[in-house]
Amino acid sequence: MLGPEPIPMPSSGAQRVGFFLIPQFSMLSFTATVEPLRSANRMSGQELYTWELFSIDGEPVPSSSGITLVPDRSIDDVEEYPVIIVSAGIDPQSYDNRHAFSWLRHMARHGTRIGGTSGGAYVLAKAGLLDGYRCTIHWEYLTGFAEEFPELDVTTKLYEIDRDRFTSAGSGATLDMMLHLIARQHGHDLSVAVAEQFSYMATNDPEAPQRMPVRQRLRISHPKLIAIIEQMEGNLEEPLDRDELSRSVSLSVRQVERLFMKYLKTTPAKYYMELRLKRARLLLSQTSMSILDVSVACGFVSASHFSKCYREMFDHPPRQERAPIID
């Protein structure tokens, strides 16, 4: 596979960027994409970038927050464009529009560099545009995405730029990606100036984790409790038993139980069960895996036991999680 290459700039004139809005797109990820371009123009004193908004039919598109944006034109009016960014958000796995996929493939064949923000990788993958490319996606969709597209090279990075494809894992990651692209196209100083306009301490490090560390997320500081939780999160398909978890941090089972009760007000078994059931909920809503397959992927020995535990936690059976298809 070829390594990543800079997205080239036109020999003259501004870089034209088109935003393809998917219903329920993330407004924060969208603004994290377009605002750096606006700021780059302002801070440089030049029109380095221009942009337009597209929708499937030219009609207004609702964001996940309920705010609606009016596009400049429909995709049928776009024959060529140097860069297109697919802006998605809530439930991107449910988007299934063959016309949109065909249009994206057409644009790619004609040399368009295509990216996706937040859940946008789902749309690109369904269109067949991530085959042979590295890609990433928001952590909430990562498990289901990897299950549905096992042939893809999916990473957990904040963003991936691989030749003429680029993907980001959420709003903060999108801002980092855009600052990185601005730096590659127009220099580090301009990228820093843009970041400072947003009072943003840019990482520009795609290797940084998508999620907060356990210490920050749960606001706990006990190193052995953190180590156990990290092991639980990393072993959902084949859960570790309580003896294994205890031995791994040189504590007794009783000591581990006391830690969980003191800091989290629950037992290790209940906490572990909730982690597995929450992962199951994501798989049920984001993939077409059978309930049996989901139960196995989350460490349950039978579908009936899984269904019983699921109902106890969420007050409804697993089958109710299946999401409708959005066209």
Using one digit for the tens of pLDDT, what is the confidence trace for 282-313?
888 877 788 999 999 999 989 999 999 999 99
Averaged confidence pLDDT in the chain:
89
- Residues 6 or more apart whose CB falls under 8 angstroms from that of 127 comprise 100, 101, 102, 104, 105
Q: How far apart are CA 36 and CA 171, in angstroms?
A: 12
Q: Which two tokens stand for residue 264?
A: 């989290």
Q: List pLDDT tens digits, range 263-276.
A: 999 999 999 999 99
Domain boundaries, the chain: 15-197, 214-321
The helix/strand/coil state of 85 is strand
pLDDT at position 11 is 47
Question: Do 122 and 145 touch, CB atoms closer than 8 A?
Answer: yes
- Beta strand 159-162 pairing with 49-55: unpaired
Superfamily the domain 214-321 falls into: Homeodomain-like (1.10.10.60)
pLDDT at position 295 is 93
The band of 13, judged by pLDDT with boundaries at 50, 70 and 90, is confident
User: Is the Cα torsion angle 209, 214, 220, 225 positive or negative in sign?
Assistant: negative
- Range in 21-30, 34-43, 192-201 with the lowest mean pLDDT: 192-201
Q: Count CB-CB contacts under 10 A for residue 104.
A: 23
- Phi then psi dihedrals of residue 132, to 5 deg: 85, 5
Q: How far apart are CA 216 and CA 209, in angstroms?
A: 13
User: What is the rounded average pLDDT of the residues 137-164?
Assistant: 90
Q: How far apart are CA 286 and CA 5, in angstroms?
A: 32
pLDDT at position 129 is 97
Q: How far apart are CA 62 and CA 21, in angstroms?
A: 9
Q: At what angle do helices 268-286 and 139-148 cross, to 10 degrees?
A: 60
Question: Measured at the alpha carbon of residue 251, what is the angle toward residues 249 and 253, in degrees to the nearest 5?
Answer: 115
Q: List pLDDT tens digits, range 80-111.
A: 999 999 999 888 999 999 999 999 999 999 99
What are the strands, taking DSSP E only, across the chain?
15-21, 49-55, 61-62, 68-69, 73-74, 83-87, 113-117, 134-135, 153-154, 159-162, 165-168
pLDDT at position 163 is 94
Q: Which conformational region is residue 99 in: left (phi greater than 0), alpha (psi within -120 to 50 degrees), or beta? A: alpha
Q: How far apart are CA 198 and CA 37, in angstroms?
A: 12
Question: Do 26 and 69 touch, CB atoms closer than 8 A?
Answer: no
Topology of domain 15-197, CATH:
Rossmann fold (3.40.50)
Question: Do 148 and 286 touch, CB atoms closer than 8 A?
Answer: yes
Residue for token digits 């069960």?
273
231-265 as b/e: b if 16+ CB within 10 A: bbeebbeebbebeebbeebebeeeebbebbeebee
User: What is the rounded average pLDDT of the residues 247-252?
Assistant: 94
The set of long-range contacts for 300-304, using a CB threshold of 8 Å and a minimum separation of 24, is 300/276
Question: Do 310 and 277 touch, CB atoms closer than 8 A?
Answer: yes
Q: Which two tokens stand for residue 55?
A: 């929708």
**Residue 226: is its pLDDT beyond 50?**
yes
Name the amino acid, one letter, at 210.
Q
Nearest CA to 29 out of 145, 120, 133 is that of 120
Q: How far apart are CA 38 and CA 171, in angstroms?
A: 16
